[in-house]
Amino acid sequence: MKPAPFVRHVPRSLDEALKILAEVAGDDGRILAGGQSLVPIMAFRLAKPAHLVDINEVEGLDKIADDGQTLTIGARVRHAAFHKPVTANPLGALLAYVARHIAHYPIRMRGTFCGSLAHADPSSEWCLTAATLDAVMIAKSVKGIREIKAASFFDGIMSTHLKEDELLAEVRLPLLPADAKFGFYEFSRRAGDFAMSASLVTYRLDGGKMTDARVGLGGAEASPRRIAEAEAQLNGKAPGDAAFRAAGEAASAAIEPLEDHQTDAAYRRDLVKVVVRRALEHSLK
Amino acid sequence: MSAHTKGSGGNGMKWVGRSIRRVEDPALVQGRGRFTGDLPAAHWVRFVRSANAAGTIRSISAPDGAMVITAADLKGVKKITPMLHKFEYRPVGQPILADGEVRFVGEAVAAVVAATEEEAEDIADLVEIDIEDAAPLVDSRAAIADGARQIHAEAPGNVILKGEAKTPGFDDVWASAAKIVRIDARSNRQNATPMEARAAHAAYDSVTGRVTLHCTTQMPHLMRTAIADCIGMPESELRVIAPDVGGGFGQKMSLCTEYVLVTWLARHLKSSVGWTEDRRENLIASFHSRDQYITLEGAFDKDAKLLALRADVLSNVGAYSCFPTTSGVEPLMAMAEMPGPYDVQQYQCLARGVLTNTCTMAAYRGVSRPVITFTLERLMDKAAKAFAIDPIDIRRNNLITTFPYKSATGLDYDEASYRQTMEMAVEAIDVPAFRTRQQAARAKGEYLGIGFATFSERTGYGSPAFAARGMAITPGWETVHVTVDPSGFVEARIGSSPHGQGLRTTLAQIIAEEIGVTPDMIKVVHGDTDTAPYGWGTFASRSLVISGGATLIASRKIRAKLLKIAGHMLEAAETDIVLEDGKAKVAGTDREVTIAAMAREAYTQTHRFKGEIEPGLSESGTYDPPGTFSNACHVAIVRLDPETGHVKLERYLVAEDAGRIINPMIADGQVHGGVVQGIGNALLEEIIYDESGAILTANLADYMPPTAHEVPPIELHHMETPSTQSVTKAKGLGEGGTIGPPAAIVNAINDALTPFNVEIDTIPATPQRIRALLRNAERAP
Amino acid sequence: MSEKAAITLTINGKDYAIAVEPRRTLADAIREDCGQTGTHIGCEHGVCGACTVIVDDAPVRSCLMFAVQAAGKKIRTVEGLASGDTLHPMQQAFMDNHGLQCGFCTPGFLMLAVGVLEREPDISDEDLIDVLSSNLCRCTGYQNIIKSVRAAAAEMRK
């Protein structure tokens, strides 16, 4: 179980990285960031990239910036960077809570936020986060910069709308309103396993009623996304069991469930109902 | 947490019963262990494995210039053909590389040899195997269906063996029953998953013409015998070394084709050749276990006394038969030990081993007993429900309480404590308090359950037990050579082959106790066929009983000789001499002589013995015991999440009796590890094939051994009923921990499920399975 | 095959000048090119943690890094834990508490626990269980590993 041979490129600047990527993209070149998803699939030889553009030596990609509106996360910011809140905005606490659910401690030391998004595993906690919060992906190539909204970024299981010569250079997450509530819940069989369903929710309260509700769902369909049907069950209602249950039911009915050996469609719908409701319940804790 | 009722120095013994630190550890915690994969080699092997579950090989094409070995190159190398002389066993042979036909996904078809592992894998990727597909048979029920394709010409109907038992008078007793209770149990397939996968390294010595094979195995001597047989070479030309072995759990006690090939290659190339199995290969192509369907019926009288058992065991043994135990290991164990700890004298059983297009089944810790205990203990709980009595009471009514006891299958149970360990567990877990908590939880929509498993475990059995199965090879006895060298230090060479069990420590304790030296003066040597006496290795909860017994026998001889020498040197009667603190002392005097001085005398001043004492200080002991039964009661408390089907273990308690405990710390460690493998068996671990015979769980994210997070604190309670069938009075406990959890946990799950009126009789009891039952119940009107 | 790169790995303070293909994992390079076989390989896909080492103060899976990526970094393996004849408190605790049986997973658990406790000496018991769930052990049932690491954590805080 050894990876197939490849040529490694070690750019020192972003421009150099993009230039090399442009050169090798057509020849099955890929970005190597944390490697915590890519290297295992290379070990199984499910991927045999001929070139790896290793961005671990590129200056400046490990920055997290909070400009009062947006949190910008660089291409090489590792999961562990979020172990403690990176901003006083509620988003910091949200990211810290979600980060603890990503794989295991040593994986979080190496794996990157942007790498998770580019890898696009349906179960990825960061993909769910990006979808729920309507992140904006900044894709860079020698041809220029593209901004891609989360809703149009994911393209099914382990696939995105990034072009082969594009590097996901940064991700922008809108800061949450200061009074925002959030909740997260995921279900897996063992600690650190891929989520069999996960939900991230945020909302505000206006006169005791929920508003601006976001219900994100991951691990249940080919790509994570917001579930409008569930959000509709929340906006204008008081937070509580009735609304939370209705949102769970709505999400469960709305999905096109992924199926695998440990989760058939009916079971996936069961789980979705539960994770959405429990994420909402978590928002009250 | 552990409470030892005896031992720990309270038994009047100095070393036996003490939790001394292990002598194995200093090297291992410093990264100085020596494992097979640590050795450099001139050549590395990569196996090209079949992607098809069944079919005929049309062609194999290799890239130009590559060294690719196929069956055609192995003329003269014999197939592995294990043998049983009973039970309508059909001997089937496994070629070292697939020869004409493939029978499971993962079967080795070709072996690529290159300078590095990477290069070998690159070439292996380019080897093309063209196979004409046949329809695969994955499930044992499909394989015995009328008209099913025959997987081996030698085994009509794909039944490789059939065991039948029926006690005289069974029919009458059956007909007299007040109630018949039935369970259809399903145990899915598992992989033992040692953390070190298989590995072999063979090096040819051009001076002697010998090959030294380092391999990760539980039985080095039998590997030597079997590999030499396959290749057709004298055993004297093969030295097998089991260095540090990273866990085995049964998976490493069977002969694998890969080790034969690596040895053959070293001779063929006159060089060194290495192979390290990767995790995917281990999961798909090493050995599997536990794939069984068991239907068990119990006939009870009106007072819930068990009168008779009737069992139908269908064991999926995979594509080939494993060596040396054969594919009888699971079905025949199930047949012989089904009645477990219960007093039941009427028994009928049909046990079949069925060939399929899946990875070969072999021994895995507990061998069948996790499955039969699960089945029998589920049956007892179902019976308790049918009679509306407490699950504990039905066990009280039926456990064996007088010993020795002859089972319906003819096994002799020695003194044990089935009832006492259960009562110990019942008291420790505080059942009334739990029931109160359970009721309160239900009122809040939370579901707790408690489950019990009582079982006996046959351990430390010698050659007659294997002969009873009709095995062509009857591993049983063990030999130990104990030598006090002229410096006064002690070396024990053993035929067992421990790999994590701490036997170097516990055997040293036995020797120290007997001859009055400290354990740090004793070195226990194993694993090298050039230096260790022929023996059978470490498996089947045998080593402490059998190798420990042989150690005690040899040590007693050393002791007797030391007393003689001391008598000479101290001019005293032997009966007045005590051996302690490294000295022989004349009781009640200040006359003494050190063991070192006696040892020196035994080699260098033998003329003083005037021919009354043989020179040297080296003795041998061999032991071949009948077997002794350990027993335990396991209790699980679970919290069931009915919405997700998830089961969280809240508490796990073991009350167990393995006779005299030599080192309580090590004994507890064996139970802990066993229990957690059993938790995997009960809840998590499952090798899943799809209909094409491909494995969907070929990595450690999909095949799920428990992590620290899924495991509750395990509470241990011990009793020590000294064995009358073991010279050390110790019983085996290597497997017991693994046997109880599926039964205890699934009984607890079913207790939690009571309000929903559904039951689960499948292991692992996965959340998907539990949810499916609950979903159906919710839909029902 | 692809072209080999000449790199220097610094393991436990000692430099190893080696030539490796870019695809060589750090785990393989430590073991085969540098001869430090105390680091074990259990799965090669990042799940079992047997190969855990500390790279620049972070416990990582050495099977999920390429050796070329570790050039110039400080690598610590099980062989470097003891100072001379004095065992690291973590090693001592594993021996005192029977935290190992076959010993194959042990180097990975030692490096995981040392790596995390050096970063977070006051980690809670609950978080510690989460951390230890990163690695697989098949022998001990984790009971005595947890006990060992808690004992060593207390000792390391002194």
Q: What is the pLDDT of residue B166?
A: 98
- Closest alpha carbon within chain C to B33: C38
Instruction: Considering only the beta carbons, identify the residue of A191, A261, A271 that sits closest to B709.
Output: A191
User: Which CATH number fits the domain that encloses residue C129?
Assistant: 1.10.150.120
Q: How far is A192 from chain C (nearest CA, A)?
A: 8
Considering the domain architecture, whether residues C135 and C97 belong to the same structural domain is answered as yes
Query: Is C84 part of a structural domain of the chain?
Result: no
B775 contacts in A (CB within 8 Å)?
266, 270
Query: Is A2 part of a structural domain of the chain?
Result: no
Give B 349-388 residues with CB within 8 A of chain A: none
Give whole-number Cα distances, A111 to B361, B480, B690, C61, in Å: 38, 52, 32, 11
- Gap between the Cα atoms of A85 and B447, Å rounded: 36
Chain B: list its partners (3+ Cβ pairs within 8 Å). A, C
Considering the domain architecture, whether residues C67 and C121 belong to the same structural domain is answered as no
Considering the domain architecture, whether residues A32 and A113 belong to the same structural domain is answered as no
CA angle B342, B344, B349 (to 5 degrees): 105
Find which of A194, A262, A281 to mutate to test the B interface (most B CBs within 10 Å of its CB).
Answer: A262
Q: What is the pLDDT of residue B469?
A: 85
Considering the domain architecture, whether residues A194 and A167 belong to the same structural domain is answered as no
Query: Which residue, A174, A201, A235, sits at the end of a domain?
Result: A174
Considering the domain architecture, whether residues C14 and C38 belong to the same structural domain is answered as yes
CB pairs under 8 A between B and C: 171
- Cβ of B700 and C48 within 8 Å? yes
Q: How far is B278 from chain A (nearest CA, A)?
A: 6
Dihedrals phi, psi of A144, to nearest 5 degrees:
145, -160
Q: How far is A270 from chain B (nearest CA, A)?
A: 7
Domains and CATH numbers, chain B: 36-134+198-276 (3.90.1170.50), 371-461+627-779 (3.30.365.10), 477-623 (3.30.365.10)
B500 contacts in C (CB within 8 Å)?
101-103, 139
Q: How far is B241 from chain C (nearest CA, A)?
A: 16
Query: Is A32 part of a structural domain of the chain?
Result: yes
Chain C: list its partners (3+ Cβ pairs within 8 Å). A, B
Find which of B121, B643, B648 to mutate to test the A interface (most A CBs within 10 Å of its CB).
Answer: B643
Considering the domain architecture, whether residues C101 and C140 belong to the same structural domain is answered as yes
Considering the domain architecture, whether residues A149 and A190 belong to the same structural domain is answered as no
User: Which CATH number fits the domain that encloses residue A155?
Assistant: 3.30.465.10
Q: Does B278 touch chain A (CB under 8 A)?
A: yes
Which residue numbers in chain A have pLDDT < 70?
none
Q: How far is C65 from chain A (nearest CA, A)?
A: 7
Considering the domain architecture, whether residues A31 and A113 belong to the same structural domain is answered as no
DSSP string, B311-353: EEEEEEEESS--TTT-TTHHHHHHHHHTTTTB---EEEEEEEE
Structure tokens at A222: 């080919």
- Closest alpha carbon within chain A to C135: A104
A190 contacts in B (CB within 8 Å)?
684, 704, 706-707, 709-710
- What percent of chain C stands above pLDDT 90? 98
Q: Does C33 touch chain A (CB under 8 A)?
A: no
Which residue numbers in chain B have pLDDT < 50?
1-9
Query: What residue numbers bound the domain in which C122 lies?
Result: 89-157
- Cβ of A56 and C69 within 8 Å? yes
Query: Which residue, C77, C105, C125, sits at the end of a domain?
Result: C77
Query: What residue numbers bound the domain in which A48 lies?
Result: 7-57
User: Which CATH number fits the domain that encloses residue A275?
Assistant: 3.30.390.50
CA B744 to chain centroid, in Å, comes to 20
- Cβ of A8 and C63 within 8 Å? no
User: Which ranges constitute the DSSP H helices of B253-412?
Assistant: 257-269, 279-285, 329-337, 369-387, 391-398
SS3 B458: strand
- Closest alpha carbon within chain C to B505: C101
Query: Is C122 part of a structural domain of the chain?
Result: yes
Considering the domain architecture, whether residues C72 and C127 belong to the same structural domain is answered as no
Dihedrals phi, psi of B101, to nearest 5 degrees:
-135, 145
Q: What is the pLDDT of residue B7?
A: 39
At residue C107, what is the residue type? P
Considering the domain architecture, whether residues A51 and A102 belong to the same structural domain is answered as no
Query: Is A82 part of a structural domain of the chain?
Result: yes
Comparing CA positions, the residue from C95, C106, C93, C108 lying closest to residue C30 is C108
Query: Which residue, A19, A40, A57, sits at the end of a domain?
Result: A57
Query: Is A188 part of a structural domain of the chain?
Result: yes
Give A 211-270 residues with CB within 8 A of chain B: 260-264, 266-267, 270
Which residue has 């590389």 as its token pair? B97
Q: How far is A24 from chain C (nearest CA, A)?
A: 16
Query: Which residue, C53, C77, C101, sits at the end of a domain?
Result: C77
- Gap between the Cα atoms of C41 and C59, Å rounded: 15
Considering the domain architecture, whether residues A45 and A88 belong to the same structural domain is answered as no
Considering the domain architecture, whether residues C63 and C37 belong to the same structural domain is answered as yes
What is the count of structural domains for chain C? 2
Q: What is the pLDDT of residue C1?
A: 66
Chain A: list its partners (3+ Cβ pairs within 8 Å). B, C
Considering the domain architecture, whether residues C66 and C20 belong to the same structural domain is answered as yes
Write the pLDDT tens digit of every residue in B596-614. Answer: 999 999 999 999 988 999 9
Q: How far is A118 from chain C (nearest CA, A)?
A: 18
What is the count of structural domains for chain A? 3
Query: Is C126 part of a structural domain of the chain?
Result: yes
Considering the domain architecture, whether residues C93 and C72 belong to the same structural domain is answered as no
User: Which CATH number fits the domain that encloses residue C22?
Assistant: 3.10.20.30
Query: Which residue, C20, C43, C77, sits at the end of a domain?
Result: C77
Residue A78: burial class (beta carbons within 10 Å; 0-12, 13-18, 19+):
buried
Give A 67-86 residues with CB within 8 A of chain C: 80
Q: Does A4 touch chain B (CB under 8 A)?
A: yes
A105 contacts in C (CB within 8 Å)?
59, 112, 116, 130-131, 134
Query: Is A197 part of a structural domain of the chain?
Result: yes
Q: Does B427 touch chain A (CB under 8 A)?
A: no
Q: Does A5 touch chain C (CB under 8 A)?
A: yes
A187 contacts in B (CB within 8 Å)?
644, 646
Query: Which residue, A127, A154, A174, sits at the end of a domain?
Result: A174
How many Cβ atoms from other residues are within 10 Å of residue B297's Cβ? 18
User: Which CATH number fits the domain that encloses residue A29?
Assistant: 3.30.43.10
Q: Does B713 touch chain C (CB under 8 A)?
A: yes
Considering the domain architecture, whether residues A41 and A85 belong to the same structural domain is answered as no
A266 contacts in B (CB within 8 Å)?
772, 775
Which residue has 């809670």 as its token pair? C124
How many Cβ atoms from other residues are within 10 Å of residue B157's Cβ? 17
Considering the domain architecture, whether residues C56 and C117 belong to the same structural domain is answered as no
Considering the domain architecture, whether residues C31 and C93 belong to the same structural domain is answered as no
- Gap between the Cα atoms of A20 and B388, Å rounded: 75
Dihedral sign for Cα atoms in the order C56, C60, C62, C63: negative
Q: Does B33 touch chain C (CB under 8 A)?
A: yes
Query: Is A1 part of a structural domain of the chain?
Result: no
Considering the domain architecture, whether residues C69 and C37 belong to the same structural domain is answered as yes
